[in-house]
Amino acid sequence: MKGVYSAPGDYIHFKSQVPLHKIPIGTKQWRYYDFGPKVVPPLICLPGTAGTADVYYKQIMSLSMKGYRVISVDIPCVWNHQEWIQSFEKFLDAIDVHHIHLYGTSLGGFLAQLFAQHRPRRVKSLILSNTFLETSRFSAAMRWAPIVGWAPSFLLKRYILTGIHDGPQEPFIADSVDFVVSQVETLSRDDLASRLAFTVDNASVGPLLLSDSLITIMDTNDYSSIPQELKDQLGERYPAARRAYLKTGGDFPFLSRPDEVNLHLQLHLRRVGVEAKPDLVRTIPKDGFGGSPGKENDEKKDHDDQPNGHGGNPESTSKESQSPPAPESSEYHGLYDQLLSSAKVISIGREDSTLMKDQLILATGVLLQLTWEFFIFSLLPIYVCSLYITENNVWKFRKLV
């Protein structure tokens, strides 16, 4: 990411319309977006190592306006695959969701398969994009895997970002990379370390009870951080799965090619029997589409906002806003263009006020990184030399005695 990054206008508009929920489950905190009619079985989106719940904002806005319920989650700070399975199941229980459809990219696709293997009754279908079946290749490539939990934040970020393709790119792909890089900057050291621990912890996906006909594999044909060998391995495991190929899109097609990805997601949901409820999109309360209760919303209850047919919850949003009406299929693109144009107006007004803050944050990050590197690379030789001198003196003393 070069220069000062400015958030896209449609993302700013999304943040103003869709509340971010935070719910503690045991010692873990889950961050997620939940948008769309609650009577519809949800599509749950799981991000990769470099992603957050925010990276699927284009899918949330598009599919929810067509009557689908979309939940996008952050991967919480858990350190092994078994802990992930148990924590994710508790999360689903907490938001009162039982049967789900999973869309996972990269690491998220691997975790989706693991959950489908160990909790087959809950997973009704899978959409897998640029993902893999086992992690042995990644653990072998990271020589410092045993100490990943103690590595400093800047080293973890550098390792993750070096895995993203760097070179001449189409503008939309370059924008998607910039957005993901900005999301990586929001992750804590523990979040980064736990995600890399997932990647290097030797594990593999066993046989699934889920029929191949309920699985869609959606890959890009240009380039990806996932080796083609691992993608082929995935295709061989699910030979009867539906295939969806994108000519271009890079590592993050859900951002760079959202229209194509959203179309494939909608076709998959229709094929596995998920019925959209566009009629319920018309009856949106002032606080949005509904969703599950979040911790930050407990103080903003409104007695007049009662759940309606789509299951809206008066505690589920952090701010009141009038959401757009339900689009008919023929006028959807016009409505979406209108949302984008209004979002651009919002972003123009905020760019000047946030420019100074962004520059300060960027400068602070660079200064901290340089400080870490100075201490590590300049003081480490001194420390090693002192250990050698101490050991040498001890040896001479023992020889004299």
The CATH number of whichever domain residue 256 belongs to comes to 3.40.50.1820
Q: Does any domain span residue 353? A: no
Q: What is the pLDDT of residue 131?
A: 93
- Would you say how long the chain is, in residues? 401
Q: What is the pLDDT of residue 228?
A: 87
Q: Does any domain span residue 217? A: yes
**Domain boundary, last residue among 249, 280, 311:** 280
Q: What is the pLDDT of residue 42?
A: 96
Element spanning 21, H or E: strand 21-25
User: Residue 129: helix, strand or coil by DSSP?
Assistant: strand
Spatial contact of 80 and 197, defined as CB atoms under 8 Å apart: yes
Q: Does any domain span residue 288? A: no
Q: What is the pLDDT of residue 379?
A: 63
**CA neighbours within 13 Å on the CB side: how many for 351?**
12
* 23-32, 53-62, 158-167, 296-305, range with the lowest pLDDT: 296-305
Give the domain range for residue 43: 9-280
Please tell me which residue, 104 or 392, carries the higher pLDDT value.
Answer: 104
Q: What is the pLDDT of residue 238?
A: 95
**Domain boundary, last residue among 258, 280, 302:** 280
Angle between helices 57-65 and 9-17 (to 10 degrees): 60
Element spanning 140, H or E: helix 136-141
The residue type found at 234 is L
Both tokens assigned to 38: 């609650």
Q: Does any domain span residue 365? A: no
Q: Does any domain span residue 256? A: yes
Q: Is 163 exposed, middle or buried (0-12, 13-18, 19+ CB in 10 A)?
A: middle
The listed range with the strongest mean pLDDT (71-75, 150-154, 346-350) is 71-75
Do 395 and 271 share a structural domain? no
pLDDT in tens, 350-395: 444 444 455 556 556 656 665 666 556 566 667 666 666 776 776 6
As a whole number of angstroms, the distance between CA 214 and CA 233 comes to: 18
The listed range with the strongest mean pLDDT (58-67, 151-160, 177-186, 370-379) is 58-67
Q: What is the pLDDT of residue 30?
A: 94
Do 248 and 393 share a structural domain? no
As a whole number of angstroms, the distance between CA 383 and CA 393 comes to: 16
Q: Does any domain span residue 317? A: no
User: How many Cβ atoms from other residues are within 10 Å of residue 204's Cβ?
Assistant: 14
pLDDT at 344 over 80: no
Q: What is the pLDDT of residue 380?
A: 60
Q: What is the mean pLDDT of residues 237-254?
A: 92
Do 190 and 45 share a structural domain? yes
Give the count of domains, the chain: 2
Q: Does any domain span residue 228? A: yes
**Domain boundary, last residue among 219, 252, 280:** 280
Do 395 and 256 share a structural domain? no
Do 274 and 142 share a structural domain? yes
Both tokens assigned to 257: 């090619």
Q: What is the pLDDT of residue 139?
A: 73
Q: What is the pLDDT of residue 394?
A: 66
Do 385 and 252 share a structural domain? no
Angle between helices 81-94 and 107-118 (to 10 degrees): 80
Q: Does any domain span residue 336? A: no
Element spanning 215, H or E: strand 215-220
End-to-end CA distance of the chain: 62
Do 164 and 51 share a structural domain? yes
Q: What is the pLDDT of residue 397?
A: 62
Longest dimension (CA), the chain: 94
